[in-house]
Structures are given as structure tokens and as C-alpha cells.
Amino acid sequence: MERLLVPSLPILGGRMLPLLKHYRAVGVHHPLTWRSVLQTSGTKHNQIGSCSAKCLANHDGASVSEKNGPKNSALPDNLLLDARILYCTSPALGHNKEAHPESNKRVPAIVDALEKLELSPKHRGSQVLEIQNFDPASPDDVARVHSRSYITGLEKAMSRASDEGLIFIEGTGPTYATATTFQESILSAGAGITLVDSVVAASKLGPNPPIGFALVRPPGHHAVPEGPMGFCVFGNIAVAARYAQHQHGLKRVMIIDFDVHHGNGTCDAFYDDPDIFFLSTHQLGSYPGTGKIHQVGQGNGEGTTLNLPLPGGAGDYAMRCAFDEIIAPSAQRFKPDIILVSAGYDAHALDHLASLQFTTGTFYMLASSIRQLAKDLCGGRCVFFLEGGYNLQSLSSSVADTFRAFLDEPSLAAQFDDPAMLFEEPTRKIKEAIEKAKGIHSL
């Protein structure tokens, strides 16, 4: 398994300052400069098509195909009223590298678990809906977060990726691209936009809209405005946040990121924005080395970034304390119009890219608590986005238990979690970190 490596980016005041023209990217056969990768002329790829709107509801379950055209919910009102969960899948099957932890097996493993545990539309009917054939994000959608030069450059680089099979696009880091990476990445960003549309539409019909979950890859929270980073190509959750503001007038957006790694790309995108509150819990000292507790935003955005680095070994106790003492009070004070969640499952004790020890039960607690927070504060408007999680067993069982939390059904964590795999949490260090964050942010 590959180790995450910190790319050679200068860091100033907690802000990543990417200089892409200085990157080195290694192709299959020879080294390239990042600029040469992005300036390579390539053939145009056909846009991923969308089907006409149709609802497929029968004894096999319900799935919805969205109409090509303006971005809004194509779901009939009765389906939106009945649904408890809306989800989209974008497995990016062509974006894959042999033996890479961020593989194309991740989303199919989740889908298989949902089916086996009878949490799929086939078993749940109108309670659980999968939206299919949604539109990819437009260049304008993505450009609210990422530079135009990065977007167009990556699209052009697909020609070289097609010729060579696979190229590295981050220089010293582990982010790769294949011939399908651009199209599959904008499709994954489009999944989040589609779910925002649908959840917002449902919230206008009643007080209990369904929660959305974008089961997509590549993940997004490390991608900085000027380029890719840490397995991530486009900032899916950041794109959705800007879309919610511009398309739906949801001015105040809260982003909760519980991936084991700091979501530096999301943090950078909104570091000076007073209307987007970014809150990250992550392992102290882990990749990419950002997310220090004293980094709180800058300019007008000072105070709307909250980083809570947790010591290695932190687990269920730490996150219950963090939710009660940090996440909930921060949300209650901020008063968001929508809550978006970077749901990384790599903090699980069985995931070896870091050393926190969350369990399936920890993720169930987080999903249940965030769902209730959204109901209390913003009319239930909430969308989750898949980020990390590389042990297929713990990833799939934890996402499945997240679905059970959304359905207000008991956790099955006891079937998946072996208490023998856990060791005592460093409670003193956990309490010190939480108290320090509370002091910095006057919680």
C-alpha cells in the first residue's frame, strides 16, 4: 500500500499556496513538468450523457433518472415526501491504479453492502432512492472553486493519459489520472449538485426532507483551488457549497469534515469567507500537515474555520466529546442554511493510512447526530460526500450503518466491530485538545 506523501507546497499562515508550474509529474515512461501535462493538446471527449427524466419504481425498488437541462430536482413531489435517503453513485471505474488504496473497488463495495444488508432501493422502496443519470458539473460550477486554467488544463491532459495509460498529476504526491479521470471527476461533482437540488426541493415540501449521500470518487477535500492533491481531483463538497449559495440562496453553509486527514483543499477555498463555516476533526500530524488548531480563518473569514487535531489513538470517546462540545455548539452559533459533510471513513481502526480508532458505531453516532443537528438548525437540509476510507470491509459496513442512522434504525455495529482491536484512548490529550479549541473559539 502506498504512503501518502506531502507535496512540495509552501505553507504560509496555514494556507496552502500551490505553485503548479513548479511541480514535477512523472509519466509512465518519462518525467514531465506539470505545466507540460496541462498544456498538452488532446482530443475532445464526448460529454457524459443524461437520460430523460423517469422514475423507475416497482417491486425491485425505486431509482430516478434526472433530465438533462437546468439543474433542479426532477423527482416527483410524492417521492421526495416519502424518501428518507437520496443517493447518487459515481464509482469512476476507469480512474484506477493497480494496488493504489483509492481504487475503483470502493464504491462497488459500498453498493454491495447496501444490497446485502437490505438497505438498497430494492429492499426499501420509496424510503431509499438512487438518482441515476445525473448531469456532470459544468465548467462554471467547478470554476466557482477551482481556477479555469486547472480545469481546462486537466481536460487537455487526458490525451496524454490516454496515450500512456496513467499519469501522475500532483508532482511529488500520489494523485494520478487515466484517460477517463476528467469526465468521471466532473460527474462526481455533479452528483453532489444533484443531491443539493433534490434535498432543497424536498425541504420546501415538508419539515423532514431526505438526507443526501454522494457515493462518489475520486474524493475531493484535498484538492486545492489551483490543482489536485492527496488522491483528490476536484473539491466535490466545495463545488456543492458554492452551488447551494449561488443557485439556491443558501448563504450560510456549514461543512463538517470527519475524515482522518485534514481537508486542506476545502479549508483553502473558504479560508476568508465568513459565510462558510469549515470544521475539521483529523489526526494530529497526519497528511498533509495542515489543520493546526490555531488556524481559524483570515480577514472576513476569521473565526469560521475550526480545526480540531486529535491525538493518535482517539476514537469513539473523542468524537462523542467533540460533537457535544465543539461541533454542535459551533453549528448552533453559526446557524447554517444547509450542512454538508465530508464523510471520510479512514479514521476507522481497521484503516491503516492513519492511526485513529473509530468504529462502525462511531460513524453511526456521527450520522445520527448530524442528521438531528440539520433538523434542528436548517430544516433538515444535509448532504454527505464520500471522502476517504480504504479498508473495503470497514468502509462498506460503516457507510451501511450511516444509512441505518439516516433511517433512524438501530446500529448493527456490534456485528462488525471487535472490541479486541481497540486500545485505551489517550483521554487526557483528547480533553486538552478540546478545551484548547473551545478557548480559541469561545465555545
Catalytic residue numbers, as ranges? 222
Q: Give, as one character, the DSSP assignment of residue 358.
A: B
**Cα separation, 375 vs 364, whole angstroms:** 17
Cis peptide bond N-terminal to 209, omega within 30: no
Exposed e or buried b per residue across 287-325, where buried means at least 16 C-beta atoms within 10 angstroms of its C-beta = bbebbebebbbeeebebbbbbbbbbebbbbbbbebbbeb
Instruction: Name the grid cell of 172.
Output: 511529488
Residue 128 phi/psi, 5-degree rounding, is -125, 115
Q: Which of 380, 385, 410, 416 is nearest to 398 (CA)?
A: 416
Residue 26 neighbours by CB distance under 10 Å: 14
| Contact by Cβ (8 Å): 88, 66 | no
Joined together, the cell numbers standing for residue 26 give 512523472
Residue 360, all three cell numbers: 462502525
Do residues 204 and 303 lie in contact, with contact meaning Cβ atoms separated by under 8 Å?
no
Nearest-10 Cα torsion for 304, 309, 314, 316: 10
User: Of 91, 89, 78, 66, which is closest to residue 125 (Cα–Cα)?
Assistant: 78
What are 87's three cell numbers?
443517493
